[in-house]
Structure 1
Amino acid sequence: MKFATEEELAGHHAATVRGAIEGVLGGLAISLPASWYAQRNWAYYRALPPHLKALGVILVVGPCYAIQAERRGVEFDKTTWTGAGKAELEREERTQQARWSTLDTKAKFKEWAMQNQYKIILGSWAASMAVAGTIVMRNRYQSTPQKIVQARMWAQGLTIGVLIAAGVLTQTQRQQSHDNRSVDHSWAYILEEQEKEEKENRIRELARAGKTPAPASA
């Protein structure tokens, strides 16, 4: 088992911080112009209290911050992969790519949806909230406090719907994983790669000692 060095931990932290900054800036680049446009063009948006407008910005910036920070951290981790572990991960990646190329369009879309279910759920929730808020705020026969109460009721209902959808998708994914499960032989591949590395290292050591010529590189 390989333990992370101080340099690797510091590099991972720096990469994560860089990703977090990129995510925040990207989220602000989307949410602030959108809020400014809504403020100028929609009277019902101008009637919203400041904390709800700030919440809209946070709902965009928060996911961008978390996703980009994680992406940068994972990218850095990949640069530190070495030895048998790296070879096994690359083999699994090639296997997944080969499997993906054999799927038809419907199967690809279904698998993509299962892998990105929470992004889809969150995006659908945000879009439905925006539509519901637009409909509520256009009602000229309600006061602003009444509109806010109605918007909160919509938010509660949509949140419950999102939780139910997440539960259904999670159960479906578990069932598919159970039906398509296979025996994990990755440990055997890793042992094989480690044995190959040890042999190559011994040959190099003997070659440096002058006992046998180094093997020609392929």
Structure 2
Amino acid sequence: MKFATEEELAGHHAATVRGAIEGILGGLAISLPATWYANRRWPAFRALPPQFKALGVVLIVVPTYAVQSERRGVEFDESTWTGAGKAFLDDKERKEETRWEALSNKEKIKDWAMRNQYKVIVGSWAASMAIAATIVMRNRYQTTPQKIVQARMWAQGLTIGVLIAAGVLTQAQRKQAAANRSVDHSWAEILEEQAKEEQELKLHELAQAQPQSAH
């Protein structure tokens, strides 16, 4: 079993920090212009308390920060894998590419949606909220308080819809996982690769020792 060295721990920390910075900057690059535009475009948004506007920024920045920092950390971990571990990851990646290429376009869309269900749900919710807010704010026959009430009703309805969609996708994912359930032999494959490496190393050392004994 390989333990992480001080250099690897420091590298993982640096990669995670870099990902966190990228996530924060990316979230701010999206949320701040959106807040500025909404504040300029809609009086109802302009009338909201500052803490509500700040909450909107936080709701975008926090997920991008968390996702990108974890992504960079995982990338660094995978880059440090060597030997049997790296061979296993490469083989797993090749199998996944082969499986993906064998899928039809419809199956690819379904597979992608299942693996990224929360991104799809949150993205759909955000897009629906933006469309609903645009429709409500364009109504010239309602006062600002009425528009706020309408926007809140839309938000509640869309949130319920998102929760229902999340439940449906989760249930479908569980059924698919149960149907395709298989025993995880990854540990056995890694041990087999390690045994092969040790055998090759012994043969190499033996081949080097033979010329020396001949002298």
TM bucket, shorter chain:
0.7 to 0.9
| TM-score w.r.t. length of structure 1 | 0.86
Per mean C-alpha deviation after superposition, the further-off stretch among 118-127 and 28-37 is: 28-37
- Alpha carbons 2:16, 2:73 under 8 Å: kept: yes
Per mean C-alpha deviation after superposition, the further-off stretch among 53-62 and 87-96 is: 53-62
Matches within 5 A, 1:64-79: 64-79=64-79
SS of the residue corresponding to residue 209 of structure 2 reads coil
Distance 1:57 1:154 in 2: 20
Per-residue deviation at 1:95? 0.4
Which residue in 1 is equivalent to 2:52?
52
Structure 1 gaps of 5+ residues are 214-218
Distance 1:3 1:164 in 2: 43
Which residue in 2 is equivalent to 1:211?
209
- Alpha carbons 1:88, 1:189 under 8 Å: kept: yes
Per-residue deviation at 1:146? 4.6
User: 1:71-104, CA deviations, whole angstroms, 9 ceiling, x for partnerless residues?
Assistant: 1111101111122122112111100101111111
- Alpha carbons 2:27, 2:65 under 8 Å: kept: yes
Distance change >3 Å, CA 118–CA 173, structure 1 → 2:
same
User: 1:162-197, CA deviations, whole angstroms, 9 ceiling, x for partnerless residues?
Assistant: 122111101101101111223433333222211111
SS of the residue corresponding to residue 81 of structure 1 reads coil
Structure 2 letter corresponding to 1:106: K
Matches within 5 A, 1:32-181: 32-140=32-140, 142-181=142-181
Distance 2:44 2:144 in 1: 8
Per mean C-alpha deviation after superposition, the further-off stretch among 160-169 and 101-110 is: 160-169
Per-residue deviation at 1:49? 2.6
- Alpha carbons 1:44, 1:138 under 8 Å: kept: no
Distance 1:196 1:146 in 2: 72
Paired residues in the alignment total: 211
Distance 1:46 1:201 in 2: 70
Per-residue deviation at 1:128? 1.7
Which residue in 1 is equivalent to 2:8?
8
- Alpha carbons 1:12, 1:77 under 8 Å: kept: yes
Matched-pair identity in %: 75
Which residue in 2 is equivalent to 1:184?
184
Structure 1 letter corresponding to 2:177: S
Per mean C-alpha deviation after superposition, the further-off stretch among 58-67 and 100-109 is: 58-67
| TM-score w.r.t. length of structure 2 | 0.87
Per-residue deviation at 1:160? 2.3
Structure 2 gaps of 5+ residues are none
Which residue in 2 is equivalent to 1:216?
none
Q: State the 4+ residue runs in structure 1 displaced beyond 6 angstroms.
A: none
Distance 1:123 1:196 in 2: 46
